[in-house]
Structure 1
Amino acid sequence: MKFDLHTHHYRCGHADGTIEDYIKAGIEAGLGVIGISDHSPYFGHEEEQPFPKIAMARSELTHYIDEVLRLKAKYEGKIDVLLGMESDFFPESFEAYRNVYANYPFDYLIGSVHQTSGVSIFNRNRWKHLNHEQQIEEKRRYYKMIADSARTGVFQILGHIDAMKGYYPAFSDLPAQDTIDETLRVIAECGVAIEINTSGKTKDVGGWYPSYAILERALHYGVEVTFGSDAHVPSRVGDDWELVRAMLKEIGFKHWVYFKNKKRIEVSL
């Protein structure tokens, strides 16, 4: 049974298409389950929509949820539409996020670290003025934040856990294996899944998140895995699903998971 838990739409300001466009694309791709998971508003910010090209406005949240639930009912029997959200993780303001999420019937929440030290992980310029030791420290900081996001107990899934390499491929070669291993251990202990996210192919690094090597370590620690295309255009829904499935079997995984009503559902590989 095919599923894709990571899709976006026009409300975030940097994706094309409506929610229904992605659902129709999921049916066309042969999915049995599609999760809608647009970028969370900035709940810790005083402005309504401080970054219009990055995330939806706070006032759009209820419209988003209502639309997903309406379409869930409309497409019942054709595809299982799940209500998700890709949430930023800002430790200093995370209680505001926690409090908002408690009010809505999410099937799952994806926790993604998009910033460290106040700078986007996708900012190419962040690396230019750092020496080797400082670059390693940024990598460690990133993975420590991912571990902290797992500890919140709010997320069922952690998004693209090595996406910092997206526009800086040399990131993968920075030594920090002990910190990555500790993060994977924490993720496993907290019962959170990580996604294999195929959107890395749209960035400079190419390929998927996380790396083969990290997935091997994830299996060692007993981390659950799921699938997300991170589609920002409907044509990418389910992108590379069969290839990812084959890779996971090669590594040694026996199943992967998705979440409904925040309950983990296993799907054999």
Structure 2
Amino acid sequence: MKFDLHTHHDRCGHASDKIKDYIEAAIQAGFQVIGISDHSPYFAHELDQPQPGIAMARSDFPNYIAEVLRLKEQYQDRIEVLLGVESDFYIDQIELYRSSYEPYPFDYIIGSVHQTRGVSIFNRTRWKGKDDAEQLDEKKHYYELIRDSANSGLFQILGHIDAMKGYYPGFADIRGAESEIDEALKAVAANDISIEINTSGGTKDCGGWYPSDAILERALHFGADVTFGSDAHVPSRVGDDWELVRKRLREIGFSRWVFFRQKRKVIVPL
């Protein structure tokens, strides 16, 4: 069974095409399951859409849900369409986000740390002028937030858990945060959720996938489940590298991966 749980569309402002185009791309690629998971609005901001090039308007969120549910029904005989969202994780706003999602029948919610200390993880300049100790502190803090997101009880999937390397490949070489990474992975296993293998890293400076093989090996050691997400922002990337990821997971030692339906884990043998 082929599935892809991480896709975006034009509503977020930095992806192209409509939801229907991603569903059609998944069908053409031979997938049985496609998840729609556009970026959550900034629920806590006073403006309806403070960053139009990053996330949808708060007022548009119900329209997003309704469209996915309509397409789920429309395509039910051709492919299973899952309702998801990629949610920002702000530890001080977690209850607001929880209450904002509660009315809707999500199949899964991806929790992604996109900012630490108020700065985007993809901001290249955040590393300028930082010495080794300061860089290590940033990396530890990042994984502490990922651990907290796993323990929040809100998410079924944690998104791109080493994406801080996206535009700063040197992030992967910062040593000393192994304990924090392990604690995050233990929290994933303890809460019976999953991390994603996200193939959009290949579109960034770091190349490859998120997370690294080293982290995937640790995830297997601690019994953390994995899922697949292309993080497609154009329909042509739906399912990108799916077969290669499956092969690599088997080489590492995984025997299964998972997706979520009505927030319940569906196990798929590798």
Q: TM-score category by the smaller chain?
A: over 0.9
Contact 1:44/1:94 (CA < 8 Å) preserved in 2?
no
Deviation at residue 45 of structure 1 after TM alignment: 1.1
Q: CA deviation digits over 1:93-133, x for unaligned, max 9? A: 12110001111000000000000010000000000021110
Identity of aligned residues (%): 66
1:210 aligns with 2:230: no
Q: Tell me the amino acid that sits aligned with residue 194 of structure 1.
A: I
Contact 1:188/1:221 (CA < 8 Å) preserved in 2?
yes
Structure 1 CA distance, aligned partners of 2:169 and 2:5? Answer: 25
Aligned partner of 1:112 in structure 2 is 112
1:224 aligns with 2:225: yes
1:86 aligns with 2:83: no
Structure 1 CA distance, aligned partners of 2:58 and 2:171? Answer: 33
Structure 2 CA distance, aligned partners of 1:93 and 1:46? Answer: 14
SS of equivalent residue, structure 2 residue 197 = strand
**Matches of residues 31-50 of structure 1 in structure 2 within 5 Å?**
31-50=31-50
Structure 1 CA distance, aligned partners of 2:98 and 2:46? Answer: 16
Structure 2 CA distance, aligned partners of 1:228 and 1:112? Answer: 13
Contact 1:6/1:35 (CA < 8 Å) preserved in 2?
yes
Q: CA deviation digits over 1:80-101, x for unaligned, max 9? A: 0000000000111121100011
Deviation at residue 179 of structure 1 after TM alignment: 1.0
Structure 2 CA distance, aligned partners of 1:46 and 1:83? Answer: 26
Structure 2 CA distance, aligned partners of 1:51 and 1:147? Answer: 27
1:15 aligns with 2:15: yes
Q: Tell me the amino acid that sits aligned with residue 52 of structure 1.
A: P
Q: CA deviation digits over 1:165-189, x for unaligned, max 9? A: 0000000010111111111111111
**Matches of residues 149-164 of structure 1 in structure 2 within 5 Å?**
149-164=149-164
Q: Tell me the amino acid that sits aligned with residue 209 of structure 1.
A: Y
After TM superposition, the score normalised by the length of structure 2 is 0.99
Deviation at residue 201 of structure 1 after TM alignment: 0.1
Aligned partner of 1:189 in structure 2 is 190
1:264 aligns with 2:265: yes
Q: Tell me the amino acid that sits aligned with residue 44 of structure 1.
A: A
Task: Give the root-mean-square deviation of aligned CA atoms.
Answer: 0.5
Deviation at residue 192 of structure 1 after TM alignment: 1.4
Structure 1 CA distance, aligned partners of 2:166 and 2:159? Answer: 13
Structure 2 CA distance, aligned partners of 1:67 and 1:232? Answer: 18
Aligned partner of 2:255 in structure 1 is 254
Structure 2 unaligned spans of 5+:
none
